[in-house]
Amino acid sequence: MSARPSGGFWRRLVSLTRKEVRQLLRDRANLMMGIALPIVLILIFGYGLSLDVKNAPVAVVLDDASPVARDVVAGLSTPGYLAPRVVGSAHEAYALMRARDVDAAVLVPADFSRRLAAGEAQVQVLLQGADASRATMIRGYVAGALASWSQKRADRGEAARPAAGQVQVVDRMWFNAANTSTWYLVPGLIVLIMTLVGAFLTALVMAREWERGTLESLFVTPVRPVEVLLAKIIPYFCVGLIGLALCLAAAAFLFQVPMYGSLLVLLFSAMLYLLVALGIGLVISSVTRNQFLASQVALIASFLPALMLSGFMFDLRNVPTAIRVIGQILPATYFMELIKSLFLAGNNWPLIARNCAVLAAYAIVLLGVARFVTRKRLD
């Protein structure tokens, strides 16, 4: 084999790659997946998804019509956070809660001002628990609004100024000055799109060739398995890079996500991850050799974990250890951590070195397995 002139390798690789590119471009479903879907996802993630709770509708029931009770209600109205509206009765508030027209209801009891004079008044806050994270935020907003109302009242001298000093929390949000989820959702999207193109699309295309036996007809030609694999990888690698370019452009120009790290490091690590994803796709397809199975396995083994377990939407710090271990096995987790840091925090060399090394190791192992599995089928 080694006696063969190396020119043969390149000639065969170029013509094989040309065949693959043609095959890829022929079906517009491929292009939809490779180009249109990333664009749709960018727009949805950038404009459509937001975890930020802003202007939450809250029903207020005033059983105490005294000026001080009205003042508390006015204090609840915090632009950007809570949007209170006074309703006539508790029943009306319950109905609004049930219909999910409001997220919470604040009930000011009839004895509010009397008890406030005694120094300990209460308001009841009903929360719609059907969205727990939203409810948690709103509970915090209401408590905060009440605390600052008390503070203001104390400052105005309407209540005895506390003798002791108070601790004042001064928050500083690093890496996300705008405090918006777009800033971490859009960089994370790069991981999702590379996983889609690399693992899902490749697994599907290769599985189809296995299923229809066209791969075997390729194998009876003088091409070597490694050339077949390379020719498959190259076009999808390019499609993945187009997706990356789209994401980067959207992040920079559409959503103004800052980028503090080095673009070169980002490109390098993205290419590494793309190789990992391609490796996953190739291994899945040659193990299943069936389009339906391959698509399902690719979905379950690569895409869904990248969405749910990589720290993209849900913070890995909050999950039980067993799940965190699963997350830590996934290559997507390392790329996700790296890319978020590169975008929002800057070049953190120990992190870059460690995560790139992990990704490189995954790429070598997975592509090696793909090469091995492909050869085995030939014999």
Partner 1 sequence: MDAFIDFWRRLAQLCRKELLAILKDPANRAILVVPALLQSLVFGYAATYNLTNVPYAVLDQSQGAASARLLARLDGTGVFHRVATLAAPRDIARVVDAGEALLVLQFGPDFDARLAQGQDAPLQVILDGRNSNTAGQASAHVAEIVAAYNAELRGGGMPVTAVPRVWYNPNLETRWNIMPALIAALSMMQTLMLTALSVAREREQGTFDQLLATPYTPMEIMLGKAVPPVLIGLVQSSIILGVTLFWFRIPMAGSLATLYAGLAIFTVACVGIGLSISAISVNMQQAMLYTFVLIMPLMLLSGLATPVRNMPDALQFATLANPLRFAIDLVQRVYLEGAGLLSLWRNLVPMFVLGAVTLPLAAWLFRHRLV
- Judged by CB under 8 A, the chain residues 27 through 56 that form the site for partner 1 are 27, 29-30, 32-33, 36-37, 40-41, 44-45, 47-54
Check binding of 2 to partner 1 (CB under 8 A): no
Strands 104-108 and 82-87: unpaired
Q: Which of 285, 302, 341, 355 binds partner 1 (CB under 8 A)?
A: 341
Check binding of 146 to partner 1 (CB under 8 A): yes
Mask: binding to partner 1, 224-263, rule CB under 8 A, as x and -? ----------------------------------------
Check binding of 365 to partner 1 (CB under 8 A): no
Closer residue to partner 1, CB minimum distance, 18 or 100: 100
Check binding of 278 to partner 1 (CB under 8 A): no
Q: Determine the straight-line distance between the first and last CA of the chain, rounded to whole angstroms.
A: 17
Closer residue to partner 1, CB minimum distance, 94 or 219: 94
Please, what is the minimum distance in Å from the beta carbon of residue 2 to partner 1? Answer: 37
**Which residues, other chains included, contact 228 with Cβ-Cβ below 8 Å and sequence gap of 6+?**
16, 215, 218, 219, 374
Q: Which of 7, 171, 220, 264 binds partner 1 (CB under 8 A)?
A: 171
Strand partners, 176: none
3-state SS assignment for residue 100: coil
Tokens 């006539």 found at = 88
Instruction: Count the site residues for partner 1 by CB under 8 A.
Output: 114
309-318 long-range Cβ contacts below 8 angstroms, 24+ apart:
309/333, 310/188, 310/191, 310/335, 310/336, 311/336, 311/337, 312/185, 312/188, 312/191, 312/192, 312/336, 313/188
- Judged by CB under 8 A, the chain residues 190 through 229 that form the site for partner 1 are 200-201, 204-205, 208
- Report the alpha-carbon distance of residue 68 to residue 219 in Å, rounded: 84
Check binding of 1 to partner 1 (CB under 8 A): no
